[in-house]
Structures are given as structure tokens and as C-alpha cells.
Chains A and B, each alone.
Chain A
């Protein structure tokens, strides 16, 4: 049973990690947790559904359009919702992201609600399970796993090696100082919200065949991704991915070896224990200083 559960946990963990990466991206650049990230995921999935299933575009083209569409939703959210609050207390931004999540859920219901129990996008590849070393794996799960790892590597390189990534980190560390050295702080924020939304959209496109789409799909995933982020260390890209895998594996093992009723809550129990002994998470620092 153990190999089956580990495989299942890793593939589910990849899903959580993928969502967590977007959360970390925004947090590292703006210092804010985006509580509407789950709904950005939802919207990205519906964009992909519309382009691929409704309009009938090729999957790759539909995926790219969904990611681009998500990016512009993120940019719009910055201009309309977050920029006016740029100098407001942090709590205002928290409430704004929560409010924006409700708005997007309403938009999701308006345009895509009432079209089915759950909307589904057929997997990119043959959905029949592959048997690798006697363990069954859904090919779509492998694609999500590869996508999560690719995103993690890409964004780690982006933050460590590119000027734009360093500008984002500098802005997050101290916006006033960043402004004084010539960084266009507001522009950085705009691109960050857009990039975060684009990652959510990419995650949704890859995961929709596994999770199914509904206007409510975002919230549960946000909770799991948030747990992964806290566990890995808020602000750490590697931590988000590792946290995602730990959450996924913990759920699978708890469900398989203890009781299936513990599957959903087990990860949160582990997180509580970790935070008692290491409040910054596994890979985190003690928080981002704000000017």
C-alpha cells in the first residue's frame, strides 16, 4: 500500500505546490497574501474551458490564452482594487483580496455557473492509468508534477538571477527604499499581481482534468496551498513546493494508515506541530520587513 499512497500523495502534493507557488510569488513581491488566489485559479480554469471546449481551440493555444487572460485579470485587479490601497494598512489589503475573491466567484457563477454539475476538460493525454513499477499513475498527474517543478525552477531562477526578480524582491523588502533607488514600485506591483494570476491560470489549465471546475473550486485549494506555504515558510519558493508535497503525502498516509476521516485534517495538524517548533516554517525567514 505504501508505494501507492506515496505516489498518490506526491501527485496531489504537486497540485497543492502549483497553487502555492503563485501565493508565494505575490507575497515575495508585495508582502501581501492574496486570498483571492483560489478564485484566480478558478477563473483561469474557466478561461481554458471556454477557449478549448466551448470555442474549440487547440489545447495548447487555449492554455496560452487562458494564462494570458489570467495575467490581465491580475493586472486589472491591481489597477482597480489594490493600487488605491497601496498606502493603506495591511489589513485593508487582506480585506480587499477577500472581497475580490467574492467578486470573482460571482463572475464565475454568472458566466460559467449553471452549465453542469462540474465542468470538465479532458486530459491532454490518454486518461488511462500508467503502471510504473507496479504502481498506477494517471498521466495527467505526471504532467502536473512536471509543471510544478518547472514553475518552481523557473521562478527560483527568476528571483535569483534576473533584474526584474531582484527588483520585485527589493520592492517587497522595502518599497520606499526601492522607490528611492529608481525602481518603479507601482509597475512592479502591477506585473506581480499579473504574474501571480498567470501562475494560477497555468495551474488551473494543468489541473482542471483532475479537479473538475466549478465556481467554488478555488477555496479548498487555496486552503491547502496556504497550508503548504505556511509549512514551507512564507516567502520561500522551495518551501512552497516542499510544503505542498508534505501536505499531499501526509493526507495520503493518514487516509491510508490511520483513517480516511483524517485525510482532510491531517495536514493542518502537522502544520500546527511544525509551527510550534519552527514558527517561520521549514524554509522561511521571520517575515518581510515593510517600510
Chain B
């Protein structure tokens, strides 16, 4: 009798242990998710001249996560964000993403700034089956063709250039020229720009090349002037754009010039050129509202960024991250507590944020289209400040 009792007790204990251990084991099978935490990885540039295309954006993402955590987290779990530096270089992106996936063991990746680096990281992410929400890379081949695990909350490069062309037409330009850098980043915009010209039955009056590290753009400026272009579409990083704008001003040539989202800081560009008036007819596009937008939607996030990152000056790069962070939070909330990578990917594919606080339009994914954002705002320098001067919405 006594022996039976002990046996029964042992069986009961074993049954209890199995009963408790089973859900634990299931939870442990979801990499990057514990009872009280979801580990999310950021892949992007954290140092060097392009750091704003990474570090500043992730400060924006993490500000959203910090606010969510302060309010209790999502379904009882806090969000933890770890960052790895790809230095904006393909050869650095692969070890960085491997570190996120295999060392940190993140649940998903929320980041990606430089297209070249993101394209290099993509095969590793696909191989590991990790969901990836891209914050700033613009190469269209990241989400086209559709991969069930990869999404972007940033405009694709072709959308930027299509928007640039539409903008100069809207501003009344008749003779439009192109100046592009022909690296992978530039090509991802340049080819679609030529397609956009064709679609409108137009031809650029000049099509010039400038190196990203150019110090002298006088020959390019002279060619553009000789072609009689009244508007220039630039597909350039800030340094080359600064040289071009300076040297156009130098020769007294002042057409409309439109830049892309790589030139996020027009005030910084103005400081770099150092000549008052050189940016008088320059505009560049961003997916965001203005950082100076007085609305509560923007100002509350400006205050939150200042709280968590007192050394940061609030700018459009933070706003990329904030809108993308809101999208990610919405998906995690909709996915519920029982998370798997496959489940969050399915939820992301139907997630919609109709009015993100810092973006110029909605973020909306569909199972057929993971390019989830297609709106842009235009900015220029007025009285020494960067202000919004227009919007363009491409069809969803």
C-alpha cells in the first residue's frame, strides 16, 4: 500500500513535470522570445559618414519600443533591441547579420539602411528564415519578388525617382537632366528613373555621372548648362551633391535641383557647401512629415527622442524609425502572445497603419505586396530652416 502510494506520487510528480515543462519547451523553441521579452535585431550602419541611415533611425525605432515597454510591453513581454553595425558595406553586412541571427538569436530583424549592405545580408536572412522589416534600404529587389518573410516600410528606389520626375514636372520644368552615381545604390534608382522618363514619353536632355567621392563637379555643371537643362534630378549621396550644387552656383547656373532621401539633412548640406543661396532652388524628398511639424503627432515623438537620446537632434531619420516602429508594434499586438516567426510574418503581410505619426502617408502591407509604403513629402530650405513644401502619393 505504502509502495503503491509512493509510486502514485512519483507518477503524479512526473505528470506534473511534463505538464509544466511542455509549454516551457514550446516557448524555448521560439528563438528570441521568452516569457517576458522579445529580442529584435537591428542591422545597419552605426558609424561613419552615413551613420544617420542607421544609428539615428534605430534611435527612433527604440524610442517607440521604450515607450511601449514603459506602458507594460506587448502581451506581457518587453521589447529588447540589439544593434549590429554593417558599416554600410556588403562585406561587413554578412558577419553582422550572422551575429544577430546566430549569436544574439533574435526573433526578427527590424532594420537595414544601406541598400548594398542589405542586399548582401538578404541571402543569410532568407536562409535562416528570420522575419525582416526593413527600415530604410530602398533597393526594390529586397521585396520584389515577394518573399513571405521580408517587408519594407521605406519607399523603394524606383518610387523615389518616379516621384522626383513628377515633382520637377509639377514645378514646370521642360528640359530635365539627370546626374547620377553609378554604384549599386545609384543603379537601383537610375534605371527606374529612365523607365519613368519613358513612361511619360520624355527623354532627359543630359545624363551625367558623378562619383560619390567627387571633389570637383565643374565639368558636370558645364555639361548641364550646355544642355540648357532647367531642372536636374540628382541620384547622389550628399558629398557629391554638395560638390555639384557648389560648382553649379560657381558658374552662375541655377536650375531647379531635386534630390532623394539620401540627402536627409538639407541644413547640413547647406553648411557643407558654405555658400548662401546655393540651395535656393533645391528640394529633396522624404517619406516623413517635417521634423518641425507643430502637430502633437510629431512633437510628442520629438520629446520622447529627447528623453531617451538627449544628444540626438530630432530629424527625419528618427521619423523613419518611429513610423516603422509603430508598424512593428501594431503587428506584434495583432499577432497575440503565442508568437512564431511564421505567424508574425503572416500578420505583417496584412498589417496596416493608416496614419503613422511621422510619415506622410499610410503603411499598408498585403500578401501580394510587401512594399508597404508609397508616399513622400518634399522639403526645402527657407530662412535657414528645413520646411515641407509639398507631397506626392503614388498609387498603392
Contact = CB atoms under 8 A, between A and B. Distances in A.
Contact of B211 (A118, A216, A248, A263): A263
A15 B274 contact: no
The number of chain B residues touching the other chain, given as a range, is 35 or more
Nearest to B213: A220
A14 to B, nearest CB: 11
A12 B216 CA distance: 7
Given A117-B49, A127-B275, A260 B215 contact: no
Nearest to B272: A120
Interface stretch (B25-33, B152-160, B217-225, B288-296): B217-225
A216 B48 contact: yes
A90 interface: no
B338 interface: no
Given A118-B239, A209-B274, A252-B219, A216 B49 contact: yes
Contacts of B370: none
Given A118-B238, A216-B48, A260-B209, A129 B250 contact: yes
Contact of B272 (A117, A248, A264): A117
B239 to A, nearest CB: 6
A118 B213 contact: no
Interface string A219-253: 01000000000000000000000000000100110
A260 B220 CA distance: 6
B251 A136 contact: yes
A212 B208 CA distance: 22
Interface stretch (B50-58, B60-68, B298-306): B50-58
Interface string A3-21: 0110010011001000000
Interface stretch (A60-68, A108-116, A155-163): A108-116
B367 interface: no
A276 interface: no
B242 interface: yes
Contacts of B249: 129
Given A118-B272, A129-B250, A260-B210, A113 B48 contact: yes
B219 A263 contact: yes
Contact of A113 (B49, B220, B247): B49
Max chain A CB contacts within 10 Å: which of B49, B265, B268? B49
A110 B218 CA distance: 33
A4 B48 contact: no
Interface string A75-101: 000000000000000000000000000
Contacts of A5: 218-219, 222
A1 B222 CA distance: 7
Contacts of B76: none
A90 B28 CA distance: 56
Interface string B241-255: 010001101111000
Contacts of A214: 48-49, 239
A211 interface: yes
Contacts of A279: none
Given A109-B47, A117-B272, A261-B182, A12 B219 contact: no
Nearest to A108: B48
B203 interface: no
Interface in B9-51: 46-51
B218 A252 contact: yes
Nearest to A255: B219
B226 interface: yes
B216 A252 contact: yes
A117 B216 contact: no
B271 interface: yes
Given A1-B222, A117-B265, A263-B219, A136 B250 contact: yes
Given A209-B274, A212-B242, A118 B49 contact: yes
A215 B48 contact: yes
Nearest to B223: A260
Contact of A109 (B48, B265, B268, B271): B48
B252 A136 contact: yes
Contact of A128 (B220, B251, B271, B275): B275
Contacts of B214: 263-264
Contacts of A117: 49-50, 52, 238-239, 264-265, 268-269, 272
A214 B212 CA distance: 13
Interface string A126-167: 011100000010100000000000000000000000000000
A32 to B, nearest CB: 26
B215 A12 contact: yes
Nearest to A140: B274
Contacts of A4: 218, 222, 251
A8 B272 contact: no
A1 to B, nearest CB: 6
A256 B55 contact: no
Given A118-B272, A120-B274, A251-B216, 10 more contacts: A1-B222, A5-B222, A113-B48, A114-B48, A118-B238, A118-B242, A122-B274, A138-B246, A255-B223, A261-B209
Interface of B: 46-52, 55, 182, 208-211, 213-216, 218-220, 222-223, 226, 238-239, 242, 246-247, 249-252, 264-265, 268-269, 271-272, 274-275
Q: Which 6 A-B pairs have the closest CB atoms?
A: A255-B219, A8-B218, A214-B49, A256-B219, A261-B209, A220-B213
21 contacts: A5-B222, A11-B216, A117-B239, A118-B238, A118-B242, A127-B274, A128-B275, A138-B250, A211-B215, A212-B239, A212-B242, A215-B48, A217-B213, A220-B211, A248-B216, A252-B216, A252-B219, A255-B219, A260-B220, A260-B223, A261-B182
